[in-house]
Amino acid sequence: MIAVSKRALLALALTFSISGLAYGETLAPTKPEDGGFSRKGLDRITAYLKNEIDTGKLPGAIMLIQRRGKTVHFESLGLRDVTTKAPMTRDTIFRIYSMSKPITTVAAMMLLEEGRLQLDEPVSKYIPAFKDTKVGVEKKDEDGKLVLDLVPQRRQITIQDLMRHTSGITYGFFGTGMVKKKYADSPAPGDFNNTEFADHIAKLPLAYQPGSTWDYSYSTDILGRVVEVVSGKSLLAFEKERILDPLGMKETAFFVADAKKQLLIAEPLPSDRKIGEGAEVSDPRVVRKWESGGGGMVSTIDDYAKFATMLVNGGILNGKRILSPKTIAYMGSNHIGPGSGVVPGPYYLPGAGFGFGLGFAVRTDAGVSANQGSVGEMNWSGAAGTTFWVDPKEDMTVVFMSQTVSQRGRIRIALKNLVYGAMEK
């Protein structure tokens, strides 16, 4: 994995230090050329998405591009629900799944800035059940049969491991292996909360030794429980007080209890609701105890764009300071690069040309990847089709919202190339 150079990190910090623009200095799209885009290039994005919808690949979509504090492109196309024929509108609510992870990680980093949490601390300091968690190692027994041997951790899981997915915790709904099968065959029982979920995960074996391998996982859900323990509040209560309300993210939550707002929830195509092995798209109308910091939130395009703009501004939005610009730059550096001892696992979702920071992927190479972008870009996506990225070098945020499971990967690559292809300067 290629590390971000010191020069790139310095540029990142300088960008953050001088950038303090408000979200949507003008919410109505400004002239494309004022944001360094061409109208012809932006029209190609519209044509691409319209074709995806017209050919039955997507129900609908919303796209928002902001650069230099101005909205240079906003497009709402298609339907939010093909069954009801409700149109896609700006106030549509989406399941953002793993785009919850950056929000949870920012919450934890706020506690770090206050000296209440440290990255090198063992998770067991806050959740004792993780002290004796074992690592599952596949081996053959005397009869040549593959069995799972449980061995001790060489070191305990740290808070940093949770943030960068090097804890050894895994997911059970994709990939193969005996540990993953245990996750799939051992779901947390009943209507559980974060305390009960963390204790349940601690009883399952780790797929890798802590700190050795990047493997996508429930790590951020466990981080959410750490936030609860340290703050003395529920995850949502802490995030509302410290992140969501200050940024004006009024529609971002874990569930949609209001019957009127439930009508605004976007739905995938009826044939496109399978997230993974044995897992279907969730229903945010059903209120449960679990506040999943790793994948349980819902949001709107404007809400998430405020969060993304805060990141590209170096931790501030509309005069509300969430994190220090140095902290944002640190989160946006590669935490699994050379010297970290971490190797990518077999399901390395950031992809070629990307490392992983704290809570999201970070671009470490301008080439290599199948899509365009700048070194220092921070991004992540959701299992139901949403995605975002911030490009500090270009002072740009992009948020895309749709509910499409099967088409998500292909569309993300195409959108990046379309966006950068539409830039003139």
CATH of residue 70's domain is 3.40.710.10
Same domain, yes or no, for 140 and 219? yes
Residue 14 contacts by C-beta under 8 Å, 6 or more apart in sequence? none
pLDDT at 278: 67
pLDDT at 12: 45
- Residue 307 and residue 322: Cα distance in Å, rounded? 10
Q: Which domain holds residue 42?
A: 6-102+234-420
Between the alpha carbon of residue 197 and those of residues 207, 290, 310, the distances in Å are 18, 8, 30
**Number of Cβ atoms within 10 Å of the Cβ of 201:** 25
Same domain, yes or no, for 227 and 248? no
**Nearest Cα to 180, choosing from 282, 276, 293, 294?**
276
Name residue, tokens 């002239």.
Answer: 31
pLDDT at 55: 97
> Taking 80 as the threshold, does the pLDDT of residue 25 lie above it?
no
Residue 102 contacts by C-beta under 8 Å, 6 or more apart in sequence? 307, 311, 359, 360, 380
Same domain, yes or no, for 271 and 394? yes
% of the chain surpassing 90 pLDDT: 87
pTM of the model: 0.93
Same domain, yes or no, for 341 and 261? yes
Is 425 inside a domain boundary? no
> Taking 50 as the threshold, does the pLDDT of residue 260 lie above it?
yes
Band (pLDDT 50/70/90 cuts) for residue 140 is: confident
Is 1 inside a domain boundary? no
- Residue 5 and residue 13: Cα distance in Å, rounded? 13
Poorest-confidence range of 85-94, 139-148, 320-329? 139-148
Is 263 inside a domain boundary? yes
Number of H helices, E strands in the chain: 13, 18
Parallel/antiparallel/unpaired status of strands 135-140 and 146-151 = antiparallel
Domain boundary among 178, 196, 231: 231
Same domain, yes or no, for 249 and 372? yes
**Average per-residue pLDDT in the chain?**
93
Is 189 inside a domain boundary? yes
% of the chain surpassing 70 pLDDT: 93
Domain boundary among 171, 202, 231: 231
Poorest-confidence range of 146-150, 275-279, 409-413? 275-279
pLDDT tens per residue, range 360-399: 999 999 999 999 999 999 999 999 999 999 999 999 999 9
Query: 135: part of which helix (H) or strand (E)?
Result: strand 135-140
pLDDT at 11: 42
Is 154 inside a domain boundary? yes
Same domain, yes or no, for 240 and 373? yes
Same domain, yes or no, for 135 and 227? yes
Same domain, yes or no, for 125 and 185? yes
Is 238 inside a domain boundary? yes
Is 130 inside a domain boundary? yes
Same domain, yes or no, for 20 and 48? yes
Same domain, yes or no, for 88 and 159? no
pLDDT at 24: 56
Is 18 inside a domain boundary? yes
* CA–centroid distance for 206 within its chain: 22
- Residue 163 and residue 7: Cα distance in Å, rounded? 25
pLDDT at 348: 96
* Pair of tokens at residue 391: 């490009």
Domain count, the chain: 2
Same domain, yes or no, for 89 and 121? no
Question: Nearest 5°: phi and psi at 344?
Answer: -65, 140
Question: What average pLDDT does range 34-52 have in this prediction?
Answer: 96
Same domain, yes or no, for 183 and 50? no
Domain boundary among 231, 256, 274: 231
